[in-house]
A and B are shown apart, each in its own frame.
Chain A
Amino acid sequence: MQTQLTESESAEFTTFMRDYQDMVFSTAARLVGDDAQAEDIAQEVFIRAFEHFADLRSSPMAGGWLKTVTRNLAINHLNRYRKRWRLFSELHAPGTDEGDAPEIEWEVPDAVLAGLGAEERAAVVDAALRQLPEHQRVALVLYHFEDLSYLQIAAHLRVSLAKVKTDIKRGRAALLPLLQRHGMTRDGLEA
């Protein structure tokens, strides 16, 4: 395990960090929905990466390793936070129970944000994700950005498969109007 930091290693590790820091920060920020907490998580990820830098520096799996560690740290962080506030978060959390709301029919458009560039689309999507309740946002991010299956998400979050499906379904239904609203107004979600 590496703990010392020489000048040459510092330069090499800085280059390594620059290659991956956007990916690590994005993953953490989309999961926890808070930039300051995401930066703390990203810092911890890179400190762990430094401890294994001898193996990671030339490994083609470094990106996957960093993504997995980031995802696990972010989920642990959310679980810790949720436990701290469990009494209040479970007092009144509408829509968190499985099957407690009727299915609603609505018109699904052919496309959303189709006219935007990738960076503008990313900004809109990230802002919209932050507006979702945590349980929906985390499930959606793990499904759409981390490419995990329903079963893998259920295992990661230690919830039932049915809850994951419900959260993703409702998360999509909540996300769509947020994205559509931007598409129609082009003013941004936070305007």
Chain B
Amino acid sequence: MTPHDDQDERLDRVLRAALEQLPPRPAPSSLESRVLGELRRRAALPWWRRSFGSWPLPAQLALVAVCAVLVGVTMLSGAPALAGISPMENIIAMALTWAHPAIVIFTSASGLARVLTDTIPPAWLYGGLGLTVCLYAVLLGLSAAGYHFLYAHPSPARNQS
């Protein structure tokens, strides 16, 4: 056993003696009313706004049945396409219908970017870029300061209430 282990064991013993049989801290007087108030609020909710486990059994069964039907219909309607009844080109075309607007938007955005870089002086562009970086740095600094003062080292006054 090293001197450090011995020291740690002694420290463990001393702290155990200091910490043993400490009475619990009294809960705030507001806790009881808060819990009962929340229970009453939840009890007043209509059944469909509560968790699924507390729904009436017929409602639970009905939802399960509806879901099962929806899943079945989806699978049955998709099966012919997968089985090759519908031509594969049609399936691919349907899958890519979303791509057309995206291509249009991308083309327009790149055209706009080209016009802007051609018309705005480079110094302005670099200045704007620098300003953006500075603002991000300030945001990061403020968040770090907020974390340091509010969370990592909160004021003890908050715990004295």
Contacts and interface: CB of A to CB of B under 8 A. Distances in A.
A179 interface: yes
Nearest to A165: B8
A122 interface: yes
B19 interface: yes
Contact of B31 (A1, A43, A88, A89): A43
A2 to B, nearest CB: 9
Nearest to B161: A35
B77 interface: no
Interface in A1-21: 1, 3-5, 10, 13-14, 17-18, 21
B30 interface: yes
Chief secondary structure at chain B's binding surface: helix
A14 B19 contact: no
Nearest to A29: B25
A3 B11 contact: no
Interface stretch (A54-62, A112-120, A152-160): A112-120
Nearest to B35: A46
Contacts of A27: 24
A89 B28 CA distance: 30
Given A4-B43, A122-B25, A125-B22, A108 B7 contact: yes
Contacts of B152: 88-89
B35 A47 contact: yes
Nearest to A130: B159
Nearest to B9: A108
Query: Interface size class for chain B?
Result: 35 or more
A181 interface: no
A161 interface: no
A17 B53 CA distance: 24
Given A24-B27, A118-B22, A172-B15, A3 B50 contact: yes
B49 to A, nearest CB: 11
A35 B155 CA distance: 13
A13 B39 CA distance: 11
Nearest to B39: A5
Nearest to B160: A190
Contact of B19 (A1, A33, A125): A125
A144 to B, nearest CB: 5
Q: Which 6 A-B pairs have the closest CB atoms?
A: A25-B27, A26-B24, A88-B147, A22-B24, A21-B27, A122-B22
15 contacts: A3-B42, A5-B43, A17-B32, A22-B25, A22-B26, A39-B28, A46-B31, A85-B151, A105-B4, A105-B7, A126-B25, A131-B156, A144-B19, A176-B15, A190-B156
Interface of A: 1, 3-5, 10, 13-14, 17-18, 21-27, 29, 33-36, 39, 42-43, 46-47, 50, 81, 85, 88-89, 91, 103, 105-106, 108-114, 118-119, 121-122, 125-126, 130-131, 144-145, 169, 172-173, 175-176, 179, 190
